[in-house]
């Protein structure tokens, strides 16, 4: 290979570095990334940080006020709930549960959805359109409703609700993937690759996938925020995770009983959900514009 | 001596369709025969919808002919063996912009045909890419660029590089200069003529710019609505057109360039 390091200032960023450079330009997106990183650290290191066991009940400290209140104590930073459990520990475990499960679900449903969508987009004829129209009709129903129906069939429980949300997320991914793959397959560079003797597998990974990242990021962040909200919603309705497990939705519905006496019991889990969804959306938006700018200017 | 490319009675038919879902009008390309020697340029000329691009697509194998044979160096090209064909006959598309993948770098774009059709290892592929880039007058650094970072002329060169990278014997170019401004166009034309002289390529060139056709082509093929109107040496056709349609084309071209 000839000498490429002729000038030291010469700098050719790889696609990944390029995306990061574009991403860094938006301060809000970077802020969102910090917030998301904070939550992800909680997911990974939760048990090491949490001061108490989330299920440990202290009979001497029911409904202790948060530390900033005059009657609060620094021992329980965010106070305790009606059973004397430390709210901070429960919140940390709750983020771990809600966000961790959502991430897992999104990865699984994206993999299934992209595989099905790619097959539907690259093939033609009856099979492809049957798959498409069947899933499209499912898209008319909100995911939460589908999830509730599936939970109704499978029965109440965290694992069942995970299956339900996972299945409910798939149709959208399939639909969008198929649309993009369809559009890409009409382009002239795909014809050029076909003339080079490219098989379908190669066409997908070389021609279509590099042009699909933007859509995947949009779809992934949307699916992640939907998954977070749905998991909490099912927990709140008592269809998903069951008390006493520290899940944000469950904590909300438990806190509702003492909402007048100790509003932080719902304010804190609620804002945790809000911040999580906000961070995911801000990062997703920033990533999408970074990917678009990388390929446009 | 056998010609480099020999086309015999190539014929294409698309029936008109009238059903609920798609309407399309039929098109027929009458049997066309011609020969192309190495180092020679053949121009295909005609009005819009005359089947010029279709003929180009038939040659590279993007469309399947109804009947007829194509021989390369005396060997028949079958429509199934796409590898043999794409190693030897390469196409430069009309819109260089759309024929280049926007999502991957130039080096990846050029690497793709090598990956699919050769057994070169990574270092050899890189060498070949750099070599080809330099051949068409681009720089090594352009490897790291994306499509949107290149100018129109550079894209055209890149499209040419993608065609040349497999060391083909015939290049089919579908209006390669249509979108270029005059200075870049003449640069590209000179580049192609130079490469043709150096590598001994057969060059099939689809255009309706008669000025360029007259300048670079040795022989010309005039098409009208899928019919072969006239074929012969370019100079002969331009000076002594036999057919009325050809005469009309030539006089309209000359009235454009001749001072009044």
The per-residue pLDDT for range B125-158, each reduced to its tens digit, is: 999 999 888 888 888 888 888 888 888 888 888 8
Q: What domains can you pick out in chain A, each with its CATH number? A: 79-294 (1.10.3720.10)
Q: How confident is the model at residue B175 (pLDDT cuts 50, 70, 90)?
A: confident
CA angle B248/B249/B255 to nearest 5° reads: 85
Kindly state the percentage of chain B with pLDDT values over 90: 0
Give residue limits of the domains in chain B. 5-257
> Taking 80 as the threshold, does the pLDDT of residue B106 lie above it?
yes
Those residues of chain A whose CB sits closer than 8 Å to some CB in chain B are 1-2, 4, 10, 12, 15, 187-189, 191-198, 202, 206-207, 209-211, 213, 294-297
The yes/no answer on whether domain B5-257 falls in CATH 3.40.50.300 is yes
> Taking 70 as the threshold, does the pLDDT of residue B122 lie above it?
yes
3 state SS of B228: strand
Q: Residue B69: its pLDDT value, please?
A: 80
Burial of A116 (0-12, 13-18, 19+ CB in 10 A): buried
* Average pLDDT rounded to a whole number, residues B54-63: 81
DSSP-assigned beta bridge partners for residue B76: B71
Q: Higher-confidence residue: A285 or B94? A: A285
Is B100 in contact with A189 (Cβ distance < 8 A)? yes
> Taking 70 as the threshold, does the pLDDT of residue B24 lie above it?
no
DSSP-assigned beta bridge partners for residue B47: none
Q: Which residues of chain A have pLDDT under 50?
A: 1
Q: Residue A279: its pLDDT value, please?
A: 95
Assess contact for B162 and B110: CB atoms under 8 A. Answer: yes
Burial of B151 (0-12, 13-18, 19+ CB in 10 A): exposed
Q: Residue A1: its pLDDT value, please?
A: 46
Question: Which ipTM value was assigned to this complex?
Answer: 0.78
Q: Residue A54: its pLDDT value, please?
A: 87
Is B148 in contact with A193 (Cβ distance < 8 A)? no
* Average pLDDT rounded to a whole number, residues B38-51: 83
Is B144 in contact with A197 (Cβ distance < 8 A)? no
Is B112 in contact with A193 (Cβ distance < 8 A)? yes
**Which residues in chain B touch residue A206, judged by CB atoms under 8 angstroms apart?**
101, 104, 108, 112
């Amino acid at each position: 290979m000839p000498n490429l390091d002729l000038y030291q200032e010469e700098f050719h960023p790889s696609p990944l570095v390029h995306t990061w450079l574009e991403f860094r330009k938006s301060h809000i997106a970077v802020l969102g990334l910090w917030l998301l990183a904070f939550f992800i650290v909680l997911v990974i290191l939760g048990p090491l940080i949490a001061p108490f066991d989330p299920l440990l009940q202290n009979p001497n400290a029911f409904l202790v006020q948060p530390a900033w209140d005059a009657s609060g104590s620094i021992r329980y930073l965010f106070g305790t709930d009606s059973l004397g459990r430390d709210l901070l520990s429960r919140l940390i475990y709750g983020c771990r549960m809600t966000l961790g499960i959502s991430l897992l679900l999104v990865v699984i449903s994206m993999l299934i959805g992209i595989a099905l969508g790619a097959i539907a987009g690259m093939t033609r004829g009856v099979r492809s359109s049957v798959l498409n129209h069947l899933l499209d009709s499912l898209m008319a129903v909100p995911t939460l409703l589908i999830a509730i129906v599936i939970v109704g069939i499978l029965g109440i429980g965290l694992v069942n609700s995970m299956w339900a949300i996972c299945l409910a997320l798939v149709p959208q991914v399939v639909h969008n993937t198929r649309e993009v793959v369809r559009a890409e397959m009409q382009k002239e560079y795909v014809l050029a690759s076909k003339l080079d003797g490219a098989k379908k597998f190669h066409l997908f990974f070389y021609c279509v996938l590099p042009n699909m990242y933007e859509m995947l990021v949009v779809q992934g962040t949307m699916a992640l925020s939907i998954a977070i909200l749905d998991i909490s919603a099912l927990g709140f309705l008592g269809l998903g995770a069951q008390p006493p497990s520290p899940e944000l939705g469950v904590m909300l519905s438990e806190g509702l009983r003492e909402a007048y006496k100790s509003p932080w019991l719902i304010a804190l889990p609620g804002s945790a959900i809000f911040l999580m969804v906000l961070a995911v959306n801000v990062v997703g938006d920033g990533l999408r514009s970074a990917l678009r700018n990388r390929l446009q200017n | 001596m056998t010609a480099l490319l020999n086309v015999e009675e190539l014929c294409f038919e698309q029936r008109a369709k009238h059903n609920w879902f798609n309407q399309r009008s039929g098109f027929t390309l009458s049997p066309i025969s011609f020969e192309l020697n190495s180092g020679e340029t053949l121009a295909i000329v005609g009005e819009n919808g005359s089947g010029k691009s279709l003929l180009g697509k038939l040659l590279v194998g993007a469309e399947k002919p109804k009947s007829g044979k194509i021989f390369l160096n005396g060997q028949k090209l079958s429509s199934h063996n796409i590898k043999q064909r794409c190693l030897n006959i390469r196409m430069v598309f009309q819109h260089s912009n759309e024929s280049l993948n926007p999502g991957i770098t130039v080096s990846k774009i050029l690497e793709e045909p090598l990956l699919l059709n050769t057994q070169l290892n990574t270092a050899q592929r890189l060498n070949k890419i750099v070599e080809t880039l330099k051949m068409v007058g681009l720089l090594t650094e352009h490897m790291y660029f994306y499509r949107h970072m290149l100018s129109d002329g550079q894209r055209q060169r890149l499209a040419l590089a993608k065609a040349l990278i497999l060391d083909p014997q015939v290049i089919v170019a579908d209006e390669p200069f249509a979108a270029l401004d005059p200075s870049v166009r003449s640069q590209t034309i000179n580049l192609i003529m130079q490469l043709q002289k150096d590598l001994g390529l057969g060059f099939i060139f689809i255009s309706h710019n008669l000025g360029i056709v007259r300048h670079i082509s040795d022989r010309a093929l005039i098409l009208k609505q899928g019919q072969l109107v006239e074929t012969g040496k370019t100079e002969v056709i331009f000076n002594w057109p036999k057919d009325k349609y050809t005469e009309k084309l030539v006089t309209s071209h000359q009235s454009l360039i001749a001072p009044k």
